[in-house]
Amino acid sequence: MPDLADWRERLRGAIRRTGRRQNAIAEQAGVSPETLSNILTGRHTNPRFETVAAIVHAAGESVGWLLREPQAPLSGSDLFMMREIVDFLDSHFPAPRRRDSSRVNRR
C-alpha cells in the first residue's frame, strides 16, 4: 500500500510546477480559491475525492501519480511527452533491421 501521508505536499508541488497561480488552478478545477487553499493546508481534513481529482488534473497530474500507485510511475504530463517522443522517433527513424546472429562473421 502506498504511503498517502504526504499527498498534500505532492499536490502543492504539482501546482507550483505548473507556474500558474492557485486561483487559476482552482478555477479550472471548478472549486473556489478558498476551498483549494483549505485542502492544500489541511484545514479541510476530508475533501471529496472528486474535488481532489479535479485539482490534480488541473495541475496536469493524475490521481495515480498523487497516490503513488505503482502502475503510474510517470506523471500525466510525462506520459504525454513520452508518447510524443516515441511517435516522433517512429515517424523519423525506421526500426533497424536485425542481424541474423547465425551469419555473423567469426574470426
Confidence grade of residue 1 (pLDDT, cut at 50, 70, 90)? very low
Q: What is the pLDDT of residues 20-37, one digit of tens each?
A: 999 999 999 999 999 999
Q: What is the pLDDT of residues 38-75, one digit of tens each?
A: 999 999 989 999 999 999 999 999 888 888 876 656 67
Is the dihedral angle over the CA atoms 23, 26, 27, 28 positive or is it negative?
A: positive
Q: Are 66 and 40 spatial neighbours (Cβ–Cβ below 8 Å)?
A: no
Is the dihedral angle over the CA atoms 84, 87, 93, 99 positive or is it negative?
A: positive
Q: For residue 91, what is its C-alpha cell?
A: 515517424
Of 45, 22, 17, residue with least CA distance to 33 = 22
Q: Are 16 and 24 spatial neighbours (Cβ–Cβ below 8 Å)?
A: no
The verdict on pTM exceeding 0.85 is no
What is the average pLDDT across 64-87?
77
Domains in the chain: ranges and CATH: 7-94 (1.10.260.40)
